[in-house]
Amino acid sequence: MVGTGDGNALLQVEAEVSSGEVLPDEINLSARVPEVLKLSHTCGAPGSREQAYLVGQRIYVPFELEMGNGQPVVGYGYYPMAATGGLTLSAADSGQQYAAFDTTDAGSAKLSSEIDGTTLDLALVQASALDGVAEPIALVLEDIDVGDENAFYVLPEAGGLTVCQADVAFEVESTSPSVCSVRKLDERPGIAIDPAQVHEYGWFAVTGLAEGTCTYTVTYPGSGAVGSFSYPIEP
């Protein structure tokens, strides 16, 4: 169904069930041109207006459409935003939560709303420019106990910015092998996570072996960026 103009419509349907009875239903629909565009990043501090992304990858930018009174406007394939810098919209990757872009050139890039004054800044960097490691994010509902294995994910940094959705080689190693073991995960864990994390990489698992402080390192071998971190293991 495509909204062709500003107005209201009544959608009526009938379905014949296995007993042969015909059941009707209907729903009111409103078609509106949105007045507000919200843009955000999938990583970094909430509300941050600039983060980094790697060149040569497809990235997903969260967006929301609303009316001026806050009423959501939903639909597929409508992206009222202009891109400057090394960003190319992948319109075929249609969605209503994320706009897909291919990153083509290093440098500054910007998304600008075509319906209000919203903007979002992106720094596009080469993998060789990675110079730090952000604090890993734990998907832990409670403490990590001895015998537990829990998932984390980690993101690199470049120029003081977190690099979102960084699909790049990394290594993890326990530096307290008597307390914990650490291993990379080939896939994202099959547990409930924040929707924004669906597009993030860098997943690994920590297993508690003994009570104490688990220490481990994360390294991005292509750039030499390395970080050291710790997490408590409870009895």
Q: How many CA atoms lie within 13 A of 178 on its CB side?
A: 2
Task: For residue 230, give the nearest of 176, 150, 155, 156 by alpha carbon.
Answer: 176
pLDDT digits (tens, 9 = 90+) for 119-128: 999 999 999 9
**Residue 192's pLDDT is what?**
55
SS3 197: helix
Q: What does pLDDT average to over the chain? A: 92
Encode pLDDT of 149-160 as tens digits: 999 999 999 999
Q: Which residue has the tokens 């409103």?
A: 30
Query: Within a 10 A sphere around the Cβ of 141, how many other Cβ atoms?
Result: 8
Note if the pTM is more than 0.75: yes
Provide φ and ψ at 197, rounded to 5°. Answer: -75, -10
Residue 156 CB coordination number (10 Å): 29
Taking residues 205-212, what's their average pLDDT? 98
pLDDT in the model for residue 17: 87
Pairing label, strands 22-31, 180-184: unpaired
Tens of pLDDT along 172-206? 999 999 999 999 998 887 665 676 788 899 999 99
Confidence of residue 66 (pLDDT cuts 50, 70, 90): very high
| Confidence category of residue 46, pLDDT binned at 50, 70, 90 | confident
